């Protein structure tokens, strides 16, 4: 149903988003396996949105944003529901797109029977294994990856306090990977987290998680870098590449799994150009890293981004705006994938890169748009002149 409908819609409703080469095509040409997008069930009733999501020139892979999480798949103990996840899995299959499956163990979006249960290590381990076995078995053969454990770390590299860690200990992680591997031996199993891109204590702890799983004799195939950034806070392409390679050196692959680059509203030509540079560096670092297999944005249009509800005053984090019109970020991604983009975009982006580099090199604090605070933040807490460290939320302050 989706396949025949979206083909017609793409031709008649979305002439502005058809290009000579799309993001997925460029990614494959650059040696990656896919460029993809997350999505959610409610958005699929928006037919122009659905048509572009199904445009395999841009998107060769789909990730269900919420419909495979624990509260959706096992809302009460032992009772499983896969209806919402199946809709997205079926859509990907109809379109000939790959499916990244997300996520089996996370401290959020847990049903109350998990968070409020009276558990021992043995009983929670059994519940964890049962959940993973049922969910992974249901989707066996359909997923290329599973994000098995999501966001197990604090910013300082310590383990995040959650029901699994406090009841079972760090062994809940290899236990989860073992259950997933037993349920589907062929799917690739990932640890997934944010802010690993900066290196430092959190990235070191994530590498230790990989080794913890490996030392337990359990399969782990990859690490997902979520890549949620504020504009201007993305490390350099070479720095990003160095961090990615520190993981592939452990014998696992890597991927960018949830990328977006939020902007303080309203946007301007300057912030949109910087966003294009940020996306170019992100995807370019994947191209530069043997073992970086793909790049996924966390939805493709600003219309359905999670950012405004989480970061008040911020938005516009994706390569298409709310009206489904491509932004400079789209060309930034193509450029990072090795595609020659039109000269006006290239010139603007190059100019912004030069300006940003100059500002950063002559300042003593964090640059404009740089992160300067937040829960667990260990980087600079003052900004270069004339910018001020501005509180956004408990997790993020930015030089504005």
- By annotation, the residues acting in catalysis are 151, 258
149: enclosing H helix or E strand: strand 145-150
CA distance 299 to 4: 22
Rounded Cα gap, residues 267 and 224, in angstroms: 29
* Cis upstream peptide for 117 (omega within 30°): no
Strands (E), the chain: 34-39, 61-64, 98-105, 145-150, 188-193, 222-225, 228-230, 253-264, 292-297, 314-315, 371-373, 389-393, 396-399
The residues, ordered by sequence, that sit 6+ positions from 86 with a Cβ below 8 Å of its Cβ are: none
At 42, give phi and psi (nearest 5°). Answer: -60, -25
Contact present, 313 and 56 (Cβ < 8 Å): no
CB count within 10 Å of CB 199 equals 15
Element (H, E) at 113: helix 112-115
- CB 153 within 8 Å of CB 112: no
Q: Which residues pair with 264 in a beta bridge?
A: 314
Q: Is the dihedral of CA 302, 191, 231, 313 positive or negative?
A: positive
DSSP state of 42: G
Closest CA to 257 of 209, 292, 305, 205: 292
Q: What's the DSSP call for residue 229? A: E
């Amino acid at each position: 149903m989706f396949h025949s409908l979206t083909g017609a819609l793409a031709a008649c409703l979305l002439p502005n988003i058809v290009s000579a080469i799309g993001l997925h095509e460029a990614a494959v040409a650059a040696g990656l396996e896919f460029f993809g997008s997350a999505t959610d069930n409610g958005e699929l009733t928006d037919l122009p949105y659905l048509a572009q999501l199904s445009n395999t020139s841009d998107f060769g892979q789909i990730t269900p944003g919420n419909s495979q999480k624990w509260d959706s798949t096992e809302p009460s103990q032992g009772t499983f529901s896969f209806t919402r996840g199946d809709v997205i899995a079926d859509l990907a299959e109809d379109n000939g797109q790959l499916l990244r499956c997300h996520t089996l163990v996370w401290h959020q979006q847990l049903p109350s029977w998990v968070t409020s249960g009276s558990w021992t290590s043995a009983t929670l381990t059994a519940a964890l294994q049962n959940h993973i076995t049922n969910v992974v078995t249901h989707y066996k053969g359909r997923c290329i990856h599973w994000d098995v454990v999501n966001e197990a770390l604090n910013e300082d590299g310590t383990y995040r306090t959650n029901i699994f860690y406090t009841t079972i200990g760090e062994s809940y992680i290899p236990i989860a990977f073992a259950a997933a591997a037993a349920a589907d031996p062929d799917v690739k199993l990932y640890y997934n987290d944010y802010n690993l891109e900066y290196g430092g204590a959190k990235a070191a702890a994530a590498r230790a998680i990989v080794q913890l799983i490996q030392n337990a004799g359990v399969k782990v195939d990859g690490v997902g870098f979520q890549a949620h950034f504020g504009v201007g806070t993305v490390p350099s392409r070479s720095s990003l590449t160095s961090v990615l390679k520190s993981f592939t050196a452990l014998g696992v692959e890597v991927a960018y799994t949830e990328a977006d680059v939020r902007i303080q509203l309203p946007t301007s030509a300057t912030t949109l150009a910087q966003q294009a540079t940020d996306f170019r560096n992100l995807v370019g670092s994947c191209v530069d890293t043997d073992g970086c297999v793909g790049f996924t944005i966390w939805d493709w249009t600003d219309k359905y981004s999670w950012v405004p509800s989480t970061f008040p005053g911020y938005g516009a984090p994706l390569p298409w705006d709310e009206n489904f019109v491509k932004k400079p970020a789209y060309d930034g991604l193509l450029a990072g994938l090795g595609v020659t983009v039109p000269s006006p975009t290239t010139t603007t982006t190059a100019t912004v890169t030069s300006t940003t580099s100059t500002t950063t090199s002559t300042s003593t604090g964090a640059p404009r748009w740089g992160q300067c605070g937040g829960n667990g933040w260990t980087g600079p807490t003052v900004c270069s002149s004339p910018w001020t460290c501005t509180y956004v939320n408990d997790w993020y302050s930015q030089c504005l």
